[in-house]
């Protein structure tokens, strides 16, 4: 996704908050289910693609927790390992007994030292006390073909899917990530995920019935979307929610007025979070639009309740 400004990201996030699946998922996340580990997103009803999109909008931080090697030809993660002699490539190996001679640094099979009557094959010095001037190397190998000894084999992977043979040098790497919720956005998310439900409860207590649709056709023939549409005794109420990190501006007020003018409900309320700007407030008064302001869901619902009394 292209780089976007903070304000753009905020507007995009608002769109996601309206999606029922995202709303449900985020409610689950802020309920203490962060970080989201691989596979858990699916259990919570969200796919990896959406999780990536939410991350690019700042809701989650990706954190690499593991690296998975993949077949360089087919990207399969299903392969088995073989140990090979690093000198001749033979797979015919055995456990070897290697001795390291500390003074000269030579490492060789025990038999080579025995053949020389206990002298180092490289420098000719006689071996002294084990642990002092020489030591056995644990877990070493011996090649049954070329007879050389070595501390670590060459590890070769064979892909079970396509048969490709490769080593760590050629393997593709895939990052396994967990997604950590950006706690700086907790307030915004809690608000976005619970506000709709709280408003519905409030309207219900005032005798309103929430309609299933959020979109109404105006007398112009155009469809207009609202956040809440409710009816009481044949009269219709529409509510739109506008929010901004600081103040809601005149554009939101004018846009809401145009929709309301076309749909002509009995009542219309514009929710402005946290508040309208001075100019927007003047415009709302001029248009006769009822406004419910609030910094959080509780304040907004309280001011809606006051308007409807």
Judged by CB under 5 A, how many residues of this single chain contact Zn ion? 21
Pick the closest to residue 83 from 96, 74, 99 (CA basis).
Answer: 96
- First-to-last alpha carbon distance for the chain, in angstroms, is 46
Kindly indicate which of the ranges 15-23, 33-41, 97-105, 269-277 contains the residues binding Zn ion, using the contact rule CB under 5 A.
97-105
Site for Zn ion in 163-192 (CB under 5 A): 164
Site for Zn ion in 56-85 (CB under 5 A): 71, 73-74, 76, 85
Residues facing residue 136 across a β-bridge: 99
Among 33, 44, 53, 87, binds Zn ion (CB under 5 A): 87
Kindly indicate which of the ranges 14-22, 61-69, 139-147, 221-229 contains the residues binding Zn ion, using the contact rule CB under 5 A.
139-147
Kindly indicate which of the ranges 56-64, 137-145, 243-251, 277-285 contains the residues binding Zn ion, using the contact rule CB under 5 A.
137-145
Minimum distance of Zn ion from residue 181's CB (angstroms):
36
Kindly indicate which of the ranges 98-106, 180-188, 214-222, 294-302 contains the residues binding Zn ion, using the contact rule CB under 5 A.
98-106
The nearer residue to Zn ion, 96 or 196, going by C-beta atoms, is 96
DSSP 5: -
Distance between CA 69 and CA 167 in Å, rounded? Answer: 10
- The H or E element containing residue 263 is helix 250-263
- Tally of residues, the chain: 309
Residues facing residue 179 across a β-bridge: 36, 62
What are the angstrom distances between the C-alpha of 117 and each of 111, 149, 186, 202, 259?
10, 19, 75, 96, 100
Q: Where on the chain is the footprint of Zn ion (CB under 5 A)?
A: 71, 73-74, 76, 85, 87-88, 90, 101, 104, 106, 120, 122-123, 143, 145-146, 159, 161-162, 164
């Amino acid at each position: 996704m292209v780089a976007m400004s903070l304000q753009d990201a905020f507007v995009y996030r608002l769109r996601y908050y309206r999606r029922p699946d995202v709303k449900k998922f985020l409610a689950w996340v802020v309920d203490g289910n962060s970080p989201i580990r691989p596979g858990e997103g699916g259990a919570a009803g969200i796919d990896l693609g959406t999780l990536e999109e939410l991350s690019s909008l700042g809701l989650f931080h990706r954190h690499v927790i593991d690296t998975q090697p993949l077949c360089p030809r087919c990207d399969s993660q299903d392969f088995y390992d073989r140990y090979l002699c690093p000198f001749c490539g033979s797979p015919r190996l055995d456990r070897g007994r290697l001795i390291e001679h500390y003074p000269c640094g030579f490492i060789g099979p025990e038999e080579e030292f025995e053949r020389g009557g206990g002298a180092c094959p490289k420098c000719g010095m006689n071996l002294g006390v084990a642990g002092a001037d020489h030591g056995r190397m644990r877990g070493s190998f011996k090649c049954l073909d070329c007879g050389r000894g070595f501390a670590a084999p060459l590890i070769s992977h064979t892909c079970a899917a396509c048969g490709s043979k490769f080593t760590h040098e050629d393997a593709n790497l895939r990052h396994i990530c967990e997604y950590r919720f950006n706690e700086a956005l907790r307030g915004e998310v809690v608000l976005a995920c619970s506000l709709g439900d709280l408003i519905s409860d409030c309207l219900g207590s005032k005798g309103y019935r929430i309609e299933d649709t959020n979109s109404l056709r105006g007398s112009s023939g155009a469809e207009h979307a609202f956040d809440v549409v409710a009816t009481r005794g044949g009269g219709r109420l529409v509510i739109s929610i506008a929010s901004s990190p600081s103040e809601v501006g005149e554009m939101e007020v004018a846009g809401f007025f145009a929709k309301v003018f076309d749909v002509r409900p009995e009542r219309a309320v514009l929710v402005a979070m946290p508040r309208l700007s001075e100019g927007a407030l003047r415009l709302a008064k001029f248009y006769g639009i009822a406004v419910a302001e609030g910094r959080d869901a509780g304040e907004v619902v309280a001011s809606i309740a006051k308007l409807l009394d």
